[in-house]
Every structure is written in structure tokens, then in C-alpha cells.
Amino acid sequence: MSVRKLKPITPGQRFRVVNSFDTITTDKPERSLIAPKKSSGGRNSQGKMTMRYTGGGHKQKYRIIDFKRNKVGVPAVVKTIEYDPNRSAFISLLAYADGAKTYIIAQNGLKVGQTVVSGENAAPEIGNAMPLSKIPLGTVISCIELRPGQGAIIARSAGTFAQLMARDGKYATIKMPSGETRLILLTCMATIGAVSNSDHQLVVSGKAGRSRWLGRRPRTRPVAMNPVDHPMGGGEGRSSGGHPRSRKGLPAKGYRTRAKANPSNKYIVERRKK
């Protein structure tokens, strides 16, 4: 994976940095694994705007991803590495020995033709899904379940990964992508390797129009609003806006909003750094 810097032929290309997509092998998704995706434009069922700065964007089809990896012991061959407009990571099409096809989040280093498998007896190799109880300590992992059978919800975006630090009783200690250290049940599944497309953070859009293609409308700065619209609005001339606050008046930029009595606090060994 690498990025390309475009020549400044137009103003929009002057600062543009694009993903070279050199690991992508096809641009046509598997038809049996795509579903329609309706655009809401930020409106609810009554037609009222409930989410601002949302609307427009290119039409997309949703790719159905297998986050559970519950076909235990059935080997699968990686057929393609594909781009997915719904996420920052790349996805892989798997063809199982029993004829089934599924999409999974592609791990860094996953190659077409490689065989992957899930289950307790799988080898700790890139792309294989295993319970935390069977993964060697110190292994880089991604696509981690938080509850057994729930499906992967941790470390799924481009370039992210966690690390299996220790095992104690029925829990594994995981160093999360945020820096937080957390206990997760040993029966939860995780995939070996870091998520693909680690160069995603280096991409520069180059122009405002590309945000519109992604369905993001222009965002109004709170300090440019009137006092009736935002706590940071108003003032004579260019005033700074006072303490950073949300639209509802809650302090922002450093203020902790996590509940002190959150029931999952007992599973957090070390909080993420500020």
C-alpha cells in the first residue's frame, strides 16, 4: 500500500494525496453479497432534519460483511481484495470449501490465493480468526468481539490493531488502539494481524467537493453563529467564543463525559491517555 501526490494541474489537485490502491484486485463486488443502501439526508421518518451537515453524496451499495467468522474449521480461499465505500478498510472475498462466499475485513498482508480458517484449531497466521484463549501472548490482533458471539466491533477501521497482553482466569488483557487496557472474555473471537489500508490517514482530499461526494455538507463554525443558535455564538467583531462547548452547553475538548458509575468500568485496567 502506498499513496501518490498529484501534480498541481488544477487548484483542487495542488494538495491532493490519493491512495494508489495497488493491493486492490477487482472493482466489481460479489452480487450475492451486496444490499441496497438508502440515503436519508439526515431526515427522520417525519421528514424533519435530525442530523445536520448530512446529505447528497454518491450512491452506494452496502457490502454484507461477516464479522462473526462462525464457520468453524472450514477453510476458505481469499479470492479478491476490494474497496468498500462504507468503511476505511479494504475487504476480502472468501470462497469456503463448502461453496459459501462471504466478505471479511482484510488484514494487512492478506494475499489472493491464501487460505484462511477460523476456530480453536487454526494456526495463529494473518487472516485466521481464533478465540483469545488460543492466541499466543503479544500477538497483534484486530476485529475483536466484546461479547462472545456478538461479532467483531473493536479495531475494524483502516490500520488499527490491538495487542494481546496477558491472560488471567477467564479474561484476556487487551491493549486497545486508543491506548486503553481492557479485560475481554477469553471466549471472544479475534483475527490475527492489523487491519489493511494503513495509509488511509495520509490521504488528503484536496478540495471541498470531495467531502460533498462523501455526503458531508458544509459545517458552520459555532463562533460564527448567533447566541440563539449556539452557546459560543454572538459577540462584537471576531470574539473567540469563550469556553468550548457543545450545542447543548456541555463542555468540550477535554471534559470527560463518561459516567462515573458505568458498569463496564470494572473491565478497564488502564484508561486511555488524555
Q: Is residue 252 part of a domain?
A: no
CATH number of the domain bearing residue 162: 2.30.30.30
User: Is the pLDDT at 242 greater than 90, yes or no?
Assistant: no
Report in angstroms the alpha-carbon separations of 238 from 207, 220, 222, 229, 272.
Answer: 26, 15, 12, 17, 35
Q: Is residue 8 part of a domain?
A: yes
Query: In terms of residue numbers, what domain contains 21?
Result: 3-39+58-201+264-270
The kind and range of the H/E element at 34 are: strand 34-36
Q: Is residue 214 part of a domain?
A: no
Q: What is the pLDDT of residues 53-107, one digit of tens each?
A: 999 999 999 999 999 999 999 999 999 999 999 999 999 999 999 999 999 999 9
Rounded CA Rg of the chain: 22
Closest by alpha carbon to 159, among 191, 201, 192, 124? 201
Q: Is residue 152 part of a domain?
A: yes
Q: What is the pLDDT of residues 124-158, one digit of tens each?
A: 999 999 999 999 999 999 999 999 999 999 999 99
User: Is the pLDDT at 1 greater than 70, yes or no?
Assistant: no
Q: Is residue 190 part of a domain?
A: yes
Q: Is residue 53 part of a domain?
A: no
Q: Is residue 218 part of a domain?
A: no
- The number of folded domains in the chain is 1
